[in-house]
Each structure stands twice: as C-alpha cells, then as structure tokens.
C-alpha cells in the first residue's frame, strides 16, 4: 500500500478519535513565534485538521496541505467553510505554495512520512526569512498501559508493519533546522476516553487492522480486556504529553 493512501480507510476514525495536542503547546508556539493576526501558516501533512483548527481565528491564512484525498475530505468538512483555511492537495516535498510565503510551518505527527532532503528544501523555499518550524507529536506516558497495548502489535492480530517499512529513511529532527538552534519542550495533558474512543484511536494507526480484516475480532477482544483492566466504570483516563520542537531553520 502506498504511504499516500494508507489512511484512506481510516480518515473518519482519525478525525474522530486521534488525540488532540496540549493547549499549552499551542500557546507556547504563539508565545515563541509572536505570530501576528496577519501571519500565514502552512500545516503540512495536515491530516483531518486536528492541529490546523487551533490556528483558525488567530492568523490570516492557514494552508492545510494533505496528500490523502479522504483525509482532505474530512478536513474540508470540518474547516473548509472558514475563509482563512485553504485545503491543498500537496505534500511536504511539493507543497504548491509560493516562495517565501509563510511565517510558520507546522508538522504534527507526520514528519516520519516525509522524504527528508526534498522536504527540508521545500520548507526553506516557502518559509519567509526568519520564519519558524514547529514539529509536534503526542505519546502516552502510562508505561503499564503502553506495555499492554504494545503487546497487540503482532501479525497474529492483523497488524501489518509493511507500510511502515516502506516509509523513507528518517533523519533526526535537528536535520530540519540545519545549523540553527531549536527548542524541545514537552507539555502534559489528560482526558477521559470511553471504549469507542479507545478502540477507535488504537485502530486509526496506519499499521492496525480495521473491521474488514478477518483478524479484527481477535484484536478487538484483546483490546477490550485491556480497556476493562485500566478503566473505571467504563472510562479510561489517558495521560499523555505533546512534544514540541520549535526554531528558525537555517540553510
């Protein structure tokens, strides 16, 4: 399966169940960059707009760039009516944006899908002088729960890591900033999750089986046991962190 189409059957669950980013991480981006209300932002690999929506009403223009058609459809449904959001069928390597056109590039939970060299070259092409790059990702910090769900990452449950192995070879985060300094920060968050949210978030991952997979019932049964073990009265408290890298890339 192509890395561009891997989320085609998962877009709806991605939009509904993927974790949001810590509000404090977003406030840090605005505090550090000092973006004005006239700023332009390119959210690259925007997916269904989970990060994109945080910039609505705070900047003049948001370019939501996403190569997957189904993800773009969900993004347009959620944000397309907002005049500040322009949804584009581009990718990190070819954004379709004009040279020196954005004040900030954001990448949320997507950097590992990019071809590093052409993506960095494109970042430098579209960023204004002294423009900013913010890279974010979420992860759970409950070690016991992580171990339990990690035990599901096996072929016997329908998990398919072939799409992961097809991803480009990764570069360290520092590569995207060149020789410039950048900051790394973490911001805690927590929220309540019911069974539907738990299984929905779990199978929204690129390598996880969906309901059409003959092994889905098996992983669903195992996941339900994990949920029962760690939830109280049908509610699981998720403890996580948003990791933020931010700086002004240099050539």
The class level of CATH for 11-247 reads alpha beta
Compute the distance between CA of residue 124 and CA of residue 97 in angstroms, rounded to an integer: 12
The per-residue pLDDT for range 208-243, each reduced to its tens digit, is 999 999 999 999 999 999 999 999 999 999 999 999
For 148, the enclosing helix (H) or strand (E) is helix 143-150
Compute the distance between CA of residue 192 and CA of residue 134 in angstroms, rounded to an integer: 27
Domain boundaries of the chain, sorted by first residue: 11-247
pLDDT at 2: 64
Q: Are 206 and 164 in contact (CB under 8 A)?
A: yes
Compute the distance between CA of residue 29 and CA of residue 31 in angstroms, rounded to an integer: 6
The per-residue pLDDT for range 103-159, each reduced to its tens digit, is 999 999 999 999 999 999 999 999 999 999 999 999 999 999 999 999 999 999 999
pLDDT at 251: 78
136 forms bridges with which residues in the sheet?
Answer: 108, 244
pLDDT cut 70: percent of the chain above it: 99
pTM for the full model? 0.96
Compute the distance between CA of residue 181 and CA of residue 7 in angstroms, rounded to an integer: 34
Tabulate helix, strand, coil % of the chain (nearest 5).
35, 25, 40
CA distances from 225 to 99, 149, 218, 237 (A): 52, 10, 11, 16
Q: Are 179 and 250 in contact (CB under 8 A)?
A: yes
Compute the distance between CA of residue 127 and CA of residue 40 in angstroms, rounded to an integer: 10
pLDDT exceeds cutoff 60 at 1: no
Question: Token digits for 198?
Answer: 């738990």
Q: Are 210 and 70 in contact (CB under 8 A)?
A: no
């Amino acid at each position: 399966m192509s890395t561009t189409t891997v989320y085609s059957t998962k877009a709806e669950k991605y939009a509904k169940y993927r974790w949001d980013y810590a509000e404090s991480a977003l406030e840090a981006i605005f505090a550090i960059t000092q973006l004005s209300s006239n700023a332009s932002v390119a959210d690259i690999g925007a997916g269904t707009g989970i990060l994109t929506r945080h910039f609505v009403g705070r900047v003049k223009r948001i370019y939501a760039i996403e190569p997957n058609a189904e993800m773009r459809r969900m993004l347009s449904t959620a944000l397309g009516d907002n005049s500040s959001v322009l949804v584009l069928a581009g990718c990190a390597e070819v954004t379709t944006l004009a040279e020196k056109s954005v004040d900030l590039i954001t990448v949320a939970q997507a950097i590992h899908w990019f071809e590093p060299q052409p993506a960095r070259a494109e970042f430098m092409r579209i960023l204004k002088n002294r423009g900013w790059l913010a890279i974010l990702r979420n992860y759970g910090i409950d070690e016991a729960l992580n171990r339990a769900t990690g035990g599901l990452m096996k072929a016997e449950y329908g998990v398919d890591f072939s799409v992961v192995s097809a991803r480009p070879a990764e570069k360290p985060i520092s590569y995207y900033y060149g020789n410039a300094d950048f900051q790394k920060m973490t911001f805690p968050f927590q929220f309540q999750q019911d069974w539907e949210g738990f299984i929905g978030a779990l199978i929204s991952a690129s390598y996880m089986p969906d309901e059409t997979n003959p092994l889905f019932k098996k992983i669903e049964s195992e996941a339900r046991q994990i949920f029962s073990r760690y939830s109280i009265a049908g509610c699981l408290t998720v403890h996580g962190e948003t990791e933020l890298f931010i700086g002004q890339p240099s050539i």
